[in-house]
A = this chain, B = another copy of it.
Amino acid sequence: MSKPINKIVILGTGNVASHLARAFKDAGLTIAQVYGRNTKNAREIAEEIFCDYTIDVNEIIPDADLYILAITESAVEELIGQIPGNDKLIVHTAGSIPMDILKDYSMNYGVFYPLQTFSKNDSMDYSDIPFCIEANSLKNLEILSELAEALSGDVRLISSEERKLIHLAAVFTCNFSNLLYTIADDILSAEGVEFDILLPLIKKTTDKIKTSRPKDVQTGPAKRKDMETISKHLTLLENNTRYKEIYKLLSQAIIDSNS
């Protein structure tokens, strides 16, 4: 059993930061301080989880056991130099940033990456979120592993190399799928059809891939090489160049993967 983590500082006040703060609180862990550049956001989180907050980098607690950088990827490099102490455990929560970006700033560092899509006021069950952890030493890995296990039943040791591909795959499955839902919503709105008519279909589509490889359960006009239907659909999209381009590109990808 490693030394318990008693003092945690969360740096950031965005969606990941607020959700992590809430998850720690729900797990009975104490956050000592939240740092953010925006007073309102920092105070909001601090009030919810009963901790201190600061918007002044110079006031970040110097003797915390763990500093969690839960900020946008582009801001990580900017902020890490300002964290006090160089032997404290520092982790970031970003999908696409290698762990080693932290190596010049502390002797103890790692990654604590929850693979989930966070919207600010969304309620969330943290117990099945995969936590991808990585650390510069076995000891730190043990600390992060225990911490992640306090939040979730799915903790995985993931290298920086793997993590960046996971993040990329997540963009395709989550962000891009949501764009497709937006396009569908847009198409239906034109005739006043409610989006909810698609929900059973969406559920079935995602149920199938729990037990089958996605490529083995592909359906639709492109899969059947039904050029007549594809051509009808392209005509329907005549007035939206962007949607038409997306339809053509994705259909072609399905057709080609099928031959």
> Which residues from chain A sit less than 8 Å from chain B, CB to CB?
15, 72-74, 95-96, 115-119, 122, 124, 128-130, 132, 154, 156, 158, 161-162, 164-185, 187-188, 190-191, 193, 195-206, 208-210, 213-215, 217-224, 226, 228-229, 232-233, 236-237, 242, 245-247, 249-250, 253-254, 256-257
Contacts and interface: CB of A to CB of B under 8 A. Distances in A.
B214 A182 contact: yes
A132 B210 CA distance: 28
Given A172-B183, A184-B172, A177 B205 contact: yes
Residue picked from A164, A167, A176, A214, most chain B C-beta under 10 Å: A176
Contact of A169 (B73, B173, B188): B188
A171 to B, nearest CB: 6
Contact of A242 (B161, B196, B253): B253
Name the prevailing secondary structure of the A interface residues: helix
A35 B241 CA distance: 41
Nearest to A246: B249
Given A122-B208, A124-B204, 19 more contacts: A15-B219, A72-B226, A73-B226, A74-B229, A115-B197, A117-B220, A119-B217, A162-B191, A168-B233, A169-B184, A170-B184, A174-B198, A175-B254, A176-B247, A178-B205, A178-B208, A179-B214, A183-B253, A203-B206
A250 B191 CA distance: 24
A198 to B, nearest CB: 5
Contacts of A202: 173-174, 177, 206, 209
